Structure 1
Amino acid sequence: MVHWFDLLVNAQAIKSIYKDEAPSLRGVDVHSLLLHRDGPKLSIKFNLNDYPSKPPKKWDVQGFNTVQVVLSLLDLRSVSISGWIDTVYVTDLDIGFKDDLVTLSIDSDRLKLTAEASFFDLESISAYAKG
């Protein structure tokens, strides 16, 4: 089975943390969207709902319970965003591959986003104590 992180340029960081567990992109808490002309690039920062069953020791010691990632779409070919007017966005991310491009879409009542790019990568992964 192909998981969303199998489409990453380098999935080693997330696979080393989650092992064979595949973190879901359903109901994630989106914090930010950043468009950058270098690349051009779209970065999306969000909290995953799935915390690893065997987190890194330093996360465990510090009492972390939430994983935050930043995913980047590089060599952006198209992007469309509407509805970014609220302060909370809990939504599903759909990531796929079509016509040699990585696709990302969000289709919720409060946020709509579609993007296509040549490359998809994990910009960062971190954890913190939420609540």
Structure 2
Amino acid sequence: MLIPTEPTDRTTDRTYVRMNWTSLLANPSGLRSVYGGAVPDLGGLSLHGVEFQREGPSLMLRFDLPSYPADPPAKWAAQGFDTVQVVMGLSGVRTAALDGFAPDPVVDISLHARDGVTVEVASASVRLRATADTAYIARLSAYATTHE
């Protein structure tokens, strides 16, 4: 993700700083702790759900992260979990547009600092764009995708 900073000179050119998407979350510490600072990018995600709620108003995105932590919490390791699932919430949603949906969509999600936080979800079958006051992790959990 690229975030614009102050112009490098007196022209309209801007410099860009690469930032991790977690820097735009209100509560990134739990996610960073689980991944030891190496939080995966938001590309190639299995999107499980999109839920709009009138309270807030808010939007919830439920998805699996593309990689499992190298040193997961002991509880997750003991249960044989191999997939991390996140529910990302957006509160104070001001604009939202959803175009399409499909069974088992694999999407790319990006976050941008624009008049709050703008979240974009994109794939061949799904397009979603929303702008809100705050983005946060509502739930962080794990589960096993394989059964022995």
Short-chain TM bin: over 0.9
Tell me how far apart the structure 2 counterparts of residues 22 and 125 of structure 1 sit (CA, whole Å): 13
Calculate the aligned-residue CA RMSD, in Å: 1.0
| SS of equivalent residue, structure 2 residue 92 | strand
In structure 1, which of residues 32, 38, 53 is the aligned counterpart of residue 70 of structure 2? 53
The one-letter amino acid of 1:4's match is W
Q: Which has the higher strand share?
A: 1
Q: Partner amino acid for 2:23? A: D
The higher-RCO structure (CA 8 Å, 6+ apart) is 1
Question: Partners of 1:121 and 1:43 in 2: how far apart?
Answer: 10
> How many residue pairs were aligned?
129
* TM-score normalised over the length of structure 1: 0.94
CA distance in 1, matches of 2:69, 2:44: 16
Alignment of 1:1-131 (within 5 A): 1-84=18-101, 86-99=102-115, 101-131=116-146
Task: Select the structure of larger CA radius of gyration.
Answer: 2
Shift of 1:32: 0.3
What is the deviation of 1:2? Answer: 2.2
Moved over 3 A (4+): none
Cα displacement (A) at 1:107: 2.5
